[in-house]
Structures are given as structure tokens and as C-alpha cells.
Structure 1
């Protein structure tokens, strides 16, 4: 994996790039930088020698389904198929290999061959899953930021490739949706659609920390500013929908503190990655004996509790 380039190149934006093509690119993503913050060994394992390659077979991610219905409904028929309730059971190996198959076996084999030929590249979903995802999309559309998306020009899933100005790392980001710089948003606007078990402030803020959403926001803002050459970086908005009924949605704007923490972690991860690539060493965890405590909020709760 080649992280350094001889000359810095201008940022590039590509629309309509497939998800598979984007993820096969050599530039570093925010997910990879998050691996680096865990340890250089994790980064090396996941991204260089690829010891944890995911299965290539597509499976349903309920958030992906809702995401498509909300941001790219025109892509639904290309990516998903609703499995019919009256579909025959899959044929057994005995049916497929039988020398004299029954009419029922022939019919089942023919049905499944035709279904797979037309839909083998798609993610199979149920009518119930589709109904739930539609409720999520509808609830997201009730948020005020959706009105901004409708009233200002923007694009979904545009891929931005840029160069880190300090370490010359080649990087890539793919905002769920962004509004291009305009009179309403002089620096543009980035919107990130998330599914969550609980969209309320306390739980979602914990998810932001656990999954490194702050680091991603910092990286996306930098790539955006490099491409659009705006005076300041754009605001970052989260549109959060719960993935269980009643599929309620909320919207949040990343605070200055949120962004500052993200930029600190983003810069640290780039520094660590550049160093590891330079010396080709991929250290794991510290082997020192450490003292462990509880999370600060639990300590605070314990100290404030009246046991009398």
C-alpha cells in the first residue's frame, strides 16, 4: 500500500462511483485511521495483510436499506429485491442432481435459476423489512434539514479524494450527502445519516465516541474544504434514525468541542500512520502493567449517590 505521493495533487470529486469501486481504492479512509488509533498492529492486520477480509456475499444491513430509500431511492431496484411470499422452497441437492426429477423439482429449479439470474447481485429483503425502512425514510424526511437538502443543490455519495497537507497521505471520504457552497451555506454543508438503537442525545453521543464519528467528521470537513476551496470548513450534521419501531429520527449539529476532539484524534492518527509507514513497524498494545478504573461518568454517579 503506497501512502506517500511524490507531488501533492488537487482534490478530486467523483459522482456515481460504485461503493465497491470506492472501497477498493488505495487511498486511506477514516475507518482505517480509526484502526490506527487502536494500534498500528490493528491497522496492519486489517488494511495491509488483510487478515479480516469480509465475505464478498452481500447481506442486508438495515441501515443501508433505509439509507438508500432516503438518499438514493432511484437505486433501490438496482440494489435490492423483495423476496416474494409465494416463492417455492429452494431445491435440494437431490432434486438438482436427480436423473429423473419430478415436475415439482423441475419447476422449483427453474424458478430459482431464473430468480438468481435476475437478482443474484442484489440484496434480498422481506416486505416487512422494506416497510420498516420506508418508515425510517419518512421520519428522516420530517426533519428540518431535509428541507434544506431539497432547497439547496447537493449530491449523495460523492467521493472526494485529497492529499493530507502535512504528511502527504492520500485520503478519501464519501459523505452520505453534501450541499455545495451557496448563498445559504457559503462553506457548504455535510450531512451524515446514521441508524442507531437509541437516537436520544446521551446514547447517540456515546455512539459517536465509541465509533469515532468525530474523527470521521474532521476528515470529511478537511477533504470538503480542499475540494471546494471554501474559506472555512463546513458544518457537520447528523440525521439519526432508530432501527426499531417506531423508527423515530433526530438531528444533531456537531458542536465546536465535538469537532475539536475529532480534529485532535484525526491529526494524531495521521501522525501515527505516517510514522509507521516510514519505519515499517506496526506495534500493538503497551505491555506495561496499568491500573484500571471505571468510566468517569460512573465514578461521578457513585460519588454523588446518597447511600444513607
Structure 2
């Protein structure tokens, strides 16, 4: 049974499936990132849904590692491991052959039985499982994991709240959070990420590319609204590389990081509220603009010229 607690402007559902959460009408951080790119992107992705997001059936390696680290008890409910000695999946030609070979018949039967046994679970290989297990084990060596163990918290709790300025109904689903306590009066938020490269100069670019700053700001606001804390919580990234040796890092979002996120988060809400009010979903500006190289390239060129 879902634990449901309601406050005047915010509510929390502790146990809610991913499918249920993503079916909710409230706006998510992904949608706010769409509107920040352009109204046309928001309209295309979220209103007429021309670019339907990939279904859960498509495996995200990060989702597997996330489950093993934060919700290992859910693993067998969501994933099915393909045995190492399983036959190769049958091709469409094999399935549709009028006179299939004995080998084709066995392969089709094996995979049909496997699908019937495991239903809609995500299928993974043993090698993929071993890699995700190494990630989960490496993440448990971080000091943040001890904090998570020693303080009451929740994985994947869904928070619903209302923006006080633009009256937008919003939702967030932090990977893990620690509830306000004596050690953390404002609580603490954790976001688990997989990355090809967890080093600071590489992961900071991922933060920019994927709008992690905006998400952090939105999560912090929803958390504060629900728990009614004096200040917003700190925000921690737990980052694991997605290939061997599966190194891990932990980062605290800096004040500057969060300030930039707050500005972009506020702007996205303003744009969405205006677009909803006017029912106008504009694309990019059609004006002619100058284009520049990234600032670091300009800096390198100038340094080479003068040294």
C-alpha cells in the first residue's frame, strides 16, 4: 500500500512505480528542460508526443546500476537475467519460415518460454549484471553511502508540489533523500548518475549538456515545500563510470552551480506558464546571429599567441 501524506501545497508518495509516476500530469524537470530549449520542443515532446520517449523495455545501464545500489530488493521484480547458455534470439525469418529447421524451432520455443515466464521484465545478460554489480559495490565505498546508511531516508519517493509564483503543478522523484533530522536539519538529496567519464572537467560538461543544474534546483524546491525546512537541502551527485574499472566519484553541487540552476529553473517556469496561457509554442529565433567557439578554445588560442 502506498504511503501518502498530504500538506497544503505538497505531497509525497513513498512507493510509486516508475510507470505510475511518469503517467502523472504534473510537469517534470525533463519537461522544463524541453521548454527551456524551445516551446516547439515542449509541444512536440509533451503535447502531441511526436518523439515518444523510449519505453522501459529498453535497458538503460544506469537504471540497472541504480536499482542494484538503491533498491536491490526490486531487482527480481524488474529484471530477468538471460542464462549464459541461452540460444541466440531467433530472427524474424526463423519465426516466419514455412518449413523451419529443428534448430529454429528450438530457439523460437526457448525464447517464447523465457518471455512468457518473465513477462514485461527488462532482460539483461550476465555480463551486464556483473558490471552493474561492480558499480553498486564501488558506490558503497563512498562516504556518502555511510551517511545514507546512518540516517533515515527513502529511495525514489515521488514529491508533488505547486509553484507559488506561476501556479504550475510540478513533480520530482529524487533518487534518494534523507529526511530532515538533527544531523541534516534541511535534509539531503542524492542523485545517482552513470557517465563515460566521472572526472570533474568531464562530468561538469555532462551537467551542462543534460541540465542537471535545473533538475537540482527543482528537486530542492519540491523537497523544501514538502518538508517545510528552513533552507533548501544540499545536493550530492554520486557518479559511476559505465565501463571497467567502473570508477566512482562524489560531488556536492556548489553554491554557484545551484545559483545557475535556480536562474534557469525560474526561466523555464516563466516560459512554460506564458506558453500555456497564450497557447503559443515558438521554435528558435529566426534572427541572424554571430557564432563563437567555446570560451575554452578562445582562451587556449590567446594563451598560445602571447606565450
Do both proteins adopt the same fold according to a TM-score greater than 0.5, normalized to the shorter chain? yes
Give runs of aligned pairs for residues 1-308 of structure 1, distance below 5 A. Answer: 9-56=8-55, 58-91=57-90, 107-306=106-305
CA contact (8 A) 1:158 1:174 kept: yes
SS in structure 2 at match of 1:239: strand
Flag structure 1 segments of 5+ consecutive residues without an equivalent.
1-7
CA distance in structure 1 between the aligned counterparts of 2:214 and 2:98, rounded to whole angstroms: 60
Offset at residue 98 of structure 1 (A): 7.3
CA contact (8 A) 1:180 1:189 kept: yes
Aligned to 2:3: none
| 1:234-282 alpha-carbon deviations (Å, 9 max, x no partner) | 0000000111111000000011101110000000000011001001111
| 1:34-82 alpha-carbon deviations (Å, 9 max, x no partner) | 1111111111111111110134361221111111110011111111111
CA distance in structure 2 between the aligned counterparts of 1:99 and 1:60, rounded to whole angstroms: 33
CA contact (8 A) 2:240 2:249 kept: yes
CA distance in structure 2 between the aligned counterparts of 1:219 and 1:184, rounded to whole angstroms: 23
Number of aligned residues: 301
CA distance in structure 2 between the aligned counterparts of 1:34 and 1:208, rounded to whole angstroms: 13
CA distance in structure 2 between the aligned counterparts of 1:195 and 1:57, rounded to whole angstroms: 17
CA contact (8 A) 2:207 2:213 kept: yes
CA distance 1:292–1:95, shift in 2 (3 Å) = closer
CA contact (8 A) 1:9 1:163 kept: no
Pick which of 21-30 and 291-300 moved more. Answer: 291-300
SS in structure 1 at match of 2:271: helix
CA distance in structure 2 between the aligned counterparts of 1:135 and 1:267, rounded to whole angstroms: 38
CA contact (8 A) 2:56 2:122 kept: no
CA distance 1:99–1:280, shift in 2 (3 Å) = closer
CA distance in structure 2 between the aligned counterparts of 1:37 and 1:108, rounded to whole angstroms: 48
Q: Structure 1 length as normaliser, TM-score?
A: 0.92
CA contact (8 A) 2:13 2:158 kept: yes
Cα RMSD of the aligned pairs, angstroms, is: 1.9
Offset at residue 306 of structure 1 (A): 4.4
CA contact (8 A) 1:30 1:215 kept: yes
Q: Structure 2 length as normaliser, TM-score?
A: 0.92
CA distance 1:99–1:213, shift in 2 (3 Å) = closer
CA distance in structure 1 between the aligned counterparts of 2:19 and 2:264, rounded to whole angstroms: 27
Offset at residue 94 of structure 1 (A): 7.1
Pick which of 147-156 and 127-136 moved more. Answer: 127-136
Pick which of 60-69 and 220-229 moved more. Answer: 60-69
| 1:100-150 alpha-carbon deviations (Å, 9 max, x no partner) | 877655544443222111123111111111111111111111100000000
Offset at residue 90 of structure 1 (A): 3.9
CA distance in structure 2 between the aligned counterparts of 1:270 and 1:55, rounded to whole angstroms: 25
SS in structure 1 at match of 2:112: helix
CA distance 1:108–1:236, shift in 2 (3 Å) = same
